[in-house]
Structure 1
Amino acid sequence: MERFSRPVSAVILLMLVLLATEMGPVAVEGGTTCKATSNIYKGLCLLDDSCDIVCKREGFHSGNCKGFLRKCVCTNPC
């Protein structure tokens, strides 16, 4: 039983780390661009154009689909 629980625990921990890195509310990249996950866009982000339109409605400069979970990420100059 112990042989089975160790790999399963490692996989769950890896998934949690991946999810945590995708869900950061605001990140600064290079000090010039601020990023935030869209509050309005729901579901998988498949089209950058749709994400861009939603982000502009939220008051951001632009937006595109990012990450493993395909979230709509809005950007603004900092």
Structure 2
Amino acid sequence: MDLSPKLFAVILLLLLLGSTEMQQGPVRVAVARECQSPSRQFKGLCVRDQNCATVCQTEGFTDGKCEGFRARCLCFKPC
């Protein structure tokens, strides 16, 4: 089987590119942990996330969401 020099060069180039990509290894991704705590100042049933988030921010948290069957306000911040 005769390979033309151009075809041989293309195959060789593809093999070299493929082998250099595999040597980089797996990609590591850092995921920030998020701590949660029930709000101490929110009163009543939690219906709107925005209301919960506002109360949580006054408590020093970055965000808040209504969660669970009992509709409680949970506050979140990076650990």
| Structure 1 vs Structure 2 CA RMSD | 1.4
Identity of aligned residues (%): 43
Unpaired runs of 5+ in structure 2? 1-30
Unpaired runs of 5+ in structure 1? 1-29
- Name the counterpart of 1:67: 68
| TM-fit CA distance, 1:60 | 0.3
TM-score by length of 2: 0.59
Task: Give the structure with the larger strand fraction.
Answer: 1
- Name the counterpart of 2:18: none
Task: Give the structure with the larger helix fraction.
Answer: 1
TM-score by length of 1: 0.60
Runs of 4 or more consecutive aligned structure 1 residues displaced over 2 Å after TM superposition: none
